[in-house]
Homo-oligomer: A and B are copies of this chain.
Amino acid sequence: MSTQAIASAKEVFDLLRDDLSAIEHELVRDGASTVGAITEIAGYLREGGGKRIRPSLLLLAAKSLGCHGRETIQLGAVVELVHTATLVHDDIIDAAEIRRGRPSANTTWGNSKCVLAGDWLYMQAFRTALEQHNFKVLELLIGLTQQMVEGELLQMELLGRIVGEAEYYDLIYRKTACLFHVSMRLGAALAGTSDEIEEQLGEYGRNLGIAFQIVDDVLDLTASEKLLGKPVASDLREGKATLAVVHAHEHGTARERVLIRKALESPDFQAASHGDVLEILNRHGSVNYALRAAGQYADVARGALAALPDSEYKRALLWMPDFVVARDK
């Protein structure tokens, strides 16, 4: 692992400010359609913000290898479009009412329009990517999107049931880490680096993504609604078993195991409350267990950057895992 000092949040933000702003402009252009409803929905989603982590990863991967071209802006917008498309369809599936502190798009425009808006955003992402006339980029992007969709379906099949750690990790790879992974690889592919470096940067993304989702899942259990911008314990309520819950189930007493399974099986905590489950998690140190696991993935992510030449972009990549693990929303 590099001994280079790690950047600060402000430093990273300054480093990417101009590029992220160019990506916002690209997203405005990419979100415009002759059909009013699409432009409206795309605008609403764009203005909802979000951390733009995926485009940032793509930018940092490309720049750390000396690639600063216009294509990084375009593909940065593309990975954000794909991410947005998955969110729109996921919110329909989860019947989510709130996203990022505002009504979810399906609440405002209805499910039907949002099915189509999500489709349109996928197509727009592929169309924009196609402009680069790079088959590798298209293969990464389309293969990835399909894996994400499969992940959502797998998750649906597991709803209401306790899962093992292996299943949990497979699921969060597909749901989240896959797009982090591909964002890094796309950045590396644009820079035209060796397969080895591309793979290492991909590994960075994969491990960072897993750390990110573990923390996301912990926050869903422990943070306040105000910080999250959506109701707390949505995962439990929807029957999704996340790492801390899986841990507590594996280490709990027979009575506790029954209670956890009941909480997952019955919608809206009719059989077991969020508080009951939190008590069990505390008793077994399950939240700390999950956070430690996230920390380990963050370490592996940092380690995957060893062969990368030193630069301010590498410094920023070294900072990212800390940011992801330490965030409170």
A residues adjacent to B (C-beta < 8 A) = 33-38, 89, 92-93, 111-113, 115-120, 122-124, 126-127, 130, 133, 135, 138-139, 142-143, 145-146, 149-150, 152-154, 156-157
Task: Quickly give the copy total for this chain.
Answer: 2
* A34 and B150 contact, Cβ closer than 8 Å, known pairs A92-B112, A156-B112, A156-B113: yes
Check if A130 sits within 8 Å of B135, measured CB to CB: yes
Q: Select the residue from A116, A122, A126, A156 with max chain B CB neighbours within 10 A.
A: A116
Of the candidates B33, B35, B89, B146, the one whose C-beta lies within 8 Å of that of A115 is B89
11 extra interface residue pairs, beta carbon distance < 8 Å, beyond A117-B153, A133-B135: A34-B150, A37-B153, A37-B157, A38-B150, A120-B149, A120-B153, A127-B142, A130-B135, A130-B138, A130-B142, A138-B138
From residue A180, how far is it (CB to closest CB) to chain B in Å? 19
Return chain B residues, CB-CB under 8 Å to A36: 157
Q: Are B153 and A126 in contact (CB under 8 A)?
A: no
Query: Are B120 and A93 in contact, with the CB atoms below 8 A?
Result: no
Residues of chain B with a CB closer than 8 A to A152's CB: 116
Q: B89 near A119 (CB under 8 angstroms)?
A: yes
Closest to A117 in B: B153
Q: Which of A117, A133, A138, A139 is packed against the most chain B CB atoms within 10 Å?
A: A138
Scoring A36, A38, A119 by chain B CB atoms within 10 A of each residue's CB, the highest score goes to: A119
Decide: B130 and A35 in contact? CB cutoff 8 A.
no
Query: Which secondary structure dominates where chain A touches chain B?
Result: helix
Assembled-state Cα–Cα distance A38/B148 (Å) = 13
Given contacts A89-B115, A113-B156, contact A126 B142 (CB under 8 A): yes
27 contacts between A and B (CB under 8 A): A36-B157, A38-B153, A89-B115, A93-B112, A111-B111, A115-B118, A116-B149, A116-B156, A117-B153, A118-B119, A119-B119, A119-B122, A119-B145, A120-B146, A120-B149, A120-B153, A123-B146, A123-B149, A126-B126, A126-B138, A126-B142, A127-B139, A127-B143, A130-B138, A130-B139, A133-B135, A138-B138
Residues of B near A111 (CB, < 8 A) are 92, 111
- CA–CA, A92 to B93, complex, Å? 12
In the complex, what's the smallest C-beta–C-beta distance from A149 to chain B, in angstroms? 5
Q: Which residues of B contact A38 (CB under 8 A)?
A: 150, 153
Residues of B contacting A124 in the complex (Cβ-Cβ under 8 angstroms): 146
- The answer to whether A93 and B119 touch (CB under 8 A), given A35-B153, A130-B135, A139-B130, is no
